Structure 1
Amino acid sequence: MSLYQCQGQTETPNKTKEGPYTYKNGDPNGIGKWYMGREIAHVMGFQGMGWLDRPEREAEENTATLLENMAISPTDTIADIGAGSGYHVLKMSKMASKGLVYAVDIQEEMLAALQQKKEERRQKNIHLVKGSEKDVNLPSNSVDKVLMVDVYHEFNYPLEMISSIKKALRPDGKIYLIEYRGEDPNVPIKKLHKMSEAQAVREMKAAGLKLERNIDNLPWQHCMVFVKAE
């Protein structure tokens, strides 16, 4: 799972509504907070770093194909939101050799681990960014491509986060939303850590984004490409 840490917000007594969010009991794997009919999942903390870097990940997820789907050019500016320990960041920085990769995470431990890898491998076009629950803290109109791998469903404030990402995205930029397929019961992932295409489209539309296409070539995950609706 992703490691874009959300602070441990739980259901508040006598409080059932907060803007677009609803609080009620739900799945044990959820935080009791709902957005557009979907319960937000608990995150996996930095203690699960080894799972992200597992050797079998390429075989299970076909991450090389995912990066091919992004059609990364050498001069691209890319943001990996919920970058964790840098599994995709390190690969993308080589592909965007004359560009820049923002590695955004909210966990200090993740950023520290990635900083060490960056220094060891001398990959100077990686810029680490400490995000927050509501903001990715990226410059406006600065990013060509945004990658979110199995992280969006854990955002504590999904509407605010996507609005923040949209602000950082250039007019012709693309968001690559990678989520385990909620429509497929055979995908061996907990229900709250999956998303259907229909649910993702509904939530992205609320932030002014539209689905350009869903690239259906990954073993377990959607590769949904969103662009600005304007």
Structure 2
Amino acid sequence: MIITIIIILALFLTPSQIHADTQNNELYYQIGEASRDGIGKFYMGREISHVMGHLGAGWLERPKREREERTDLLLQQLSLKATDYVVDLGAGTGYFSFPIAVQLTAGKVLAVDIEPEMLRLIEQRKSAEGIENIDTILANERSPNIPNASVDVVLLVDAYHEFSYPREVMAGVVKGLKPGGRVVLVEYRGEDNRVPIKRLHKMTQQQAKKEMSAVGLQWLRTDDYLPQQHVMIFSRQ
């Protein structure tokens, strides 16, 4: 399978790009047999899950989401300042972007997603509601495209486990943080078999700490006030 991947790359990339990409994968990623919900690519012992995509927009906006996940508590506990610049990374439909924007009377939300369809939904809602302090940013598999040293908080809600290049994306996040900035990583608790979510769409606290540490993020604390998810807080070292 690895040979096949290299051959495909050779059709589209220069020799120097192939060498760099292959070397990078050998350093950080392993390719193996894919499970039902995974892509067969492994990072630090964890198989990366399939991306839900824009077809799952209805699930993100389901009416019972607030009750099931207590998203209202998460929004209350973010402790945002009115002047903060906040990245909603993996913003999807903007479920969190819009209520956060209301809190930032002198700040801004950067709604970042890899799916142009999701960003179009956000732009349509912005226009309909007259909201001006949300900017949409199209990310790619390797970069969140956040300007360097520009943001105070990066929020990731049930998105990180789907990143095809988690190390590269989070390295971009670290560069985008201002001094003293923080990452709020929200993931379904992988340690808890009672959480009715597919295995690859959950993360243990231990695994999250290991992966964040690899890009220079320091764990500050884990809050477990949500019914099913860890809220893990990290800062730039």
TM-score (norm 2): 0.90
Amino acid at match of 1:31: I
Partners of 1:69 and 1:215 within 8 A in 2: no
CA positional deviation for 1:222:
0.4
Distance in 2 between the 1:191 and 1:119 partners? 38
Amino acid at match of 2:33: N
The residue that corresponds to 2:41 in the other structure is 33
**Which of 10, 23, 33 is residue 31 of structure 2 equivalent to?**
23
Partners of 1:100 and 1:127 within 8 A in 2: yes
**Which of 196, 202, 205 is residue 197 of structure 1 equivalent to?**
205
The residue that corresponds to 1:212 in the other structure is 220
Distance in 2 between the 1:101 and 1:24 partners? 38
TM-score (norm 1): 0.92
- Write out aligned runs for 1:23-172 (5 A): 23-172=31-180
CA positional deviation for 1:43:
0.7
Aligned length: 219
Q: Percent identity?
A: 47
Distance in 2 between the 1:97 and 1:127 partners? 14
3-state secondary structure, aligned to 1:19: helix
Q: Which is bigger in relative contact order (C-alpha 8 A, separation at least 6)?
A: 1
Distance in 2 between the 1:169 and 1:161 partners? 13
Distance in 2 between the 1:74 and 1:121 partners? 20
Distance in 2 between the 1:117 and 1:124 partners? 11
Larger of the two Rg values belongs to structure: 2
Amino acid at match of 2:165: Y
3-state secondary structure, aligned to 1:178: strand
Amino acid at match of 1:178: V
3-state secondary structure, aligned to 1:172: strand
Structure 1: runs of 5 or more not aligned: 1-10
Structure 2: runs of 5 or more not aligned: 6-21
CA positional deviation for 1:26:
3.6
